[in-house]
Amino acid sequence: MENENLLYYGDNLDVLRLHIKDESVDLVYLDPPFKSDQNYNVIFREQDGTKSKSQIKAFEDTWHWDITAAASYQEVIETCSDDVSKAMQAFRNFLGESDMLAYLSMMAPRLVEMKRVLKQTGSIYLHCDPTASHYLKMLMDSIFGVNNFRNEIVWHYRTGNLAKKQFQRKHDIILFYSKSGNSFFKPIDIKEYYVQVYGPGFKPSFKGRKHGEDKYGQYRMSFIDDVWDISAVFTLSKEHLDYPTQKPEALLERIINASSKEGDIVLDPFCGCGTTIVTAQRFNRQWIGIDVTHLAVTLIKHRLNDMFGGEVKYKTVGEPKSLPDAIALAKDDAYQFQWWSLGLVGARPVEQKKGKDRGIDGRLYFHDEPVGGKTKQIIISVKSGHTGVAHIRDLRGVIEREKAEIGVLISLKEPTREMKKEAASAGFYESPWGKHPRMQILTITDIFDNKGIDFPPQTNVTYKKAGKANKSNQNNSNLF
Ligand SMILES: C[S@@+](CC[C@H](N)C(=O)[O-])C[C@H]1O[C@@H](n2cnc3c(N)ncnc32)[C@H](O)[C@@H]1O
């Protein structure tokens, strides 16, 4: 693990226990599901920019008291320190065997592991919202110690739905704790921060103000305080990637700059579409990201590539690396298998529903005409079980119905001779680059051998692109 950026696919409890050494990490930022009782969907955009009707459930934020929660609760009571055990028992007395207790029973062992992997000089920032922040603070007190509580940061933003029965809810809470009294912390000077954000030539907003005065004309200390007014990632912003609950890089910039140094190791065990990872990379930190969905892992790979090109080196762990691994993933979770294999060919998943999108598991969009030309599409069907010639015929019917240019069957199993013959009979799509078979069959073994879909090169526009990282101008608007 020395000097290597790592992206793990998997449940963070397993990854932390199996792969991350004691006292090896300088900074943890985590943004777990908040127990909002919602499903978070990835709503991909159509090529004209409108929201797609289809959406993919990226992750659930609904917890139930069941046998798994009860086992997790029991394990915490029996194996964790006295303080943690007492806090969890108090929660049980107060909350009963409820969904909130299930949520806290999921969080407790993970937070204990995060404390284990932090160095003595390290810090942890737990991002949550007022749904559970009061319980999480008590849990953090029991794990990290009341003495190591540093701040309850209020992140204030302006987006969200209109509320009519209470004041508008426009903030999240970030609980900041250190591992010990000997933690690293670099206060961020307000003036320095303006200059860092807007560049060395920045002057106008200081005209007529004294050092330490903010844009509202109020005097503040010269160091940034614990109420942060930072714009959320809105749909039209350059950072926006269609991943639910994506956090702004500006938020992570503050955390990373205050609680780590160049070369330090930053861990995000619920890393989503990789905001912590790309910000850590921009500020020359080493990073470790963990997420339990292949959708997130695929998005992070695209984001890193879009922002840094080939410049960033990292290893992915937990993804299938061989045919037996792929078979195991398909057996374990057919959707994760689909998302993983679609990600490998640069396609995105399609919501599984009856009717219109029947027979379609993924889509890939490309542009092979001069600017303003038509968006073309490739339709993908993924089969992890038995396949036969009927699947090729069905897919051919689907590409005709959808007026798609190319159809691809991704299969775990080798295709039969009849399947290949049927595919060959579909002819070719002709692009300015030449001829591309209209019906293609790719096995997982082909993909491991670096074979991809045959379509015009460099024309894939399926994923929304993250803007290129510009290290010299770490520019972000709406920071104050
Ligand atoms: C709120 S989102 C994080 C968003 C992230 N901060 C960003 O800016 O994109 C929570 C993420 O945690 C992941 N997750 C949920 N349970 C997990 C677990 N047990 N292990 C690893 N990741 C998990 C979900 O897949 C989701 O991507």
Within-domain flag for 262: yes
| Residues 261, 273: Cα–Cα separation, whole Å | 23
Give residue 306 CA to ligand 1 midpoint distance, Å. 21
On whether both 258 and 159 belong to a single domain, the answer is yes
Residue 433 CB-half CA count within 13 A: 12
Give residue 192 CA to ligand 1 midpoint distance, Å. 33
What is the Cα 319 distance to its own chain's centre? 16
Within-domain flag for 146: yes
Question: Tell me: the pLDDT tens digits for 134-170?
Answer: 999 999 999 999 999 999 999 999 887 788 889 998 9
161-175, 199-213, 244-258: least confidently modelled range = 199-213
Q: What is the mean pLDDT of the chain?
A: 87
Within-domain flag for 62: yes
The ligand 1 atom nearest the CA atom of 127: 6
Q: Which of the four pLDDT bands, split at 50, 70 and 90, describes residue 10?
A: very high
In a mutational test of the pocket of ligand 1, which residue from 59, 239, 294, 298 has the highest number of ligand atoms less than 8 Å from its CB? 59
| Residues 467, 302: Cα–Cα separation, whole Å | 11
On whether both 174 and 77 belong to a single domain, the answer is yes
The ligand 1 atom nearest the CA atom of 270: 12
23: pLDDT strictly greater than 90 = yes
Give residue 196 CA to ligand 1 midpoint distance, Å. 30
Give residue 420 CA to ligand 1 midpoint distance, Å. 40
The ligand 1 atom nearest the CA atom of 61: 15
Question: Tell me: the pLDDT tens digits for 383-430?
Answer: 999 999 999 999 999 999 999 999 999 999 999 999 999 999 999 999
Give residue 131 CA to ligand 1 midpoint distance, Å. 17
On whether both 139 and 274 belong to a single domain, the answer is yes
The CATH number of whichever domain residue 360 belongs to comes to 3.40.1350.10
Give residue 312 CA to ligand 1 midpoint distance, Å. 22
Question: Tell me: the pLDDT tens digits for 317-341?
Answer: 999 999 999 999 999 888 889 999 9
On whether both 298 and 333 belong to a single domain, the answer is no
Give residue 341 CA to ligand 1 midpoint distance, Å. 20
Output b/e per residue, 35-72; b: 16+ Cβ within 10 A.
beeeebebbbeeeeeeebebbbebbebebebeeebeeb
On whether both 303 and 328 belong to a single domain, the answer is no
Q: Which of the four pLDDT bands, split at 50, 70 and 90, describes residue 61?
A: low
Report whether 300 contacts 289 (CB < 8 A). yes
Give residue 434 CA to ligand 1 midpoint distance, Å. 42
More confident residue, 431 or 159: 431
On whether both 312 and 327 belong to a single domain, the answer is no
Within-domain flag for 479: no
| Residues 75, 252: Cα–Cα separation, whole Å | 33
Give residue 418 CA to ligand 1 midpoint distance, Å. 43
Question: Tell me: the pLDDT tens digits for 338-368?
Answer: 999 999 999 988 866 655 557 799 999 999 9
Q: Which of the four pLDDT bands, split at 50, 70 and 90, describes residue 468?
A: confident
| Residues 181, 97: Cα–Cα separation, whole Å | 36
Within-domain flag for 290: yes
On whether both 303 and 390 belong to a single domain, the answer is no
On whether both 106 and 166 belong to a single domain, the answer is yes
What is the Cα 444 distance to its own chain's centre? 25
The last residue of a domain, from among 270, 290, 317? 317
On whether both 88 and 177 belong to a single domain, the answer is yes
The CATH number of whichever domain residue 235 belongs to comes to 3.40.50.150
The ligand 1 atom nearest the CA atom of 29: 6
Which amino acid is located at 79 in the chain? T
Q: What is the pLDDT of residue 317?
A: 95
Question: Tell me: the pLDDT tens digits for 266-297?
Answer: 999 999 999 999 999 999 999 999 999 888 99
Query: 236: exposed, middle or buried (C-beta count within 10 Å: 0-12, 13-18, 19+)?
Result: exposed
Q: Which of the four pLDDT bands, split at 50, 70 and 90, describes residue 38?
A: low
Q: Whose CA is nearest to atom 2 of ligand 1?
A: 272
Q: What is the pLDDT of residue 335?
A: 86
In a mutational test of the pocket of ligand 1, which residue from 57, 292, 464 has the highest number of ligand atoms less than 8 Å from its CB? 292
The ligand 1 atom nearest the CA atom of 290: 21
The last residue of a domain, from among 292, 317, 342? 317
Q: What is the pLDDT of residue 354?
A: 56
The ligand 1 atom nearest the CA atom of 34: 1
Range of the domain at 333: 323-448
On whether both 123 and 250 belong to a single domain, the answer is yes
Query: 30: exposed, middle or buried (C-beta count within 10 Å: 0-12, 13-18, 19+)?
Result: buried
477: pLDDT strictly greater than 50 = no
Q: What is the pLDDT of residue 62?
A: 74
55: pLDDT strictly greater than 60 = no
The ligand 1 atom nearest the CA atom of 273: 9
Within-domain flag for 410: yes
In a mutational test of the pocket of ligand 1, which residue from 110, 174, 271 has the highest number of ligand atoms less than 8 Å from its CB? 271
Structure tokens at 313: 């080196």
Ligand 1 neighbours, Cβ below 6 Å, are 11-12, 31-33, 59, 243, 245-247, 270, 272-273, 275, 290-293, 296
Structure tokens at 147: 């003495």
Q: What is the pLDDT of residue 473?
A: 38
Question: Tell me: the pLDDT tens digits for 103-146?
Answer: 999 999 999 999 999 999 999 999 998 989 999 999 999 999 99
Q: Which of the four pLDDT bands, split at 50, 70 and 90, describes residue 210?
A: low
Q: What is the biggest distance separating any 2 CA atoms in the chain, rounded to whole angstroms? A: 80
CA distances from 72 to 7, 31, 85, 88, 123 (A): 26, 20, 12, 11, 25
Helix (H) or strand (E) holding 337: helix 334-344
Q: Which of the four pLDDT bands, split at 50, 70 and 90, describes residue 200?
A: low
On whether both 10 and 27 belong to a single domain, the answer is yes
The last residue of a domain, from among 283, 317, 351? 317
Give residue 56 CA to ligand 1 midpoint distance, Å. 15
| Average pLDDT for 78-101 | 95
Within-domain flag for 293: yes
Within-domain flag for 475: no
Q: What pTM, to 2 d.p., does this model score?
A: 0.87
- For the chain, what is the domain count? 2
Percent of all residues in the chain with a pLDDT value above 90, rounded to a whole number:
67
On whether both 245 and 362 belong to a single domain, the answer is no
Percent of all residues in the chain with a pLDDT value above 70, rounded to a whole number:
84
Q: What is the pLDDT of residue 362?
A: 92
36: pLDDT strictly greater than 70 = no
The ligand 1 atom nearest the CA atom of 110: 19
φ/ψ of 343, rounded to 5, equals: -60, -35
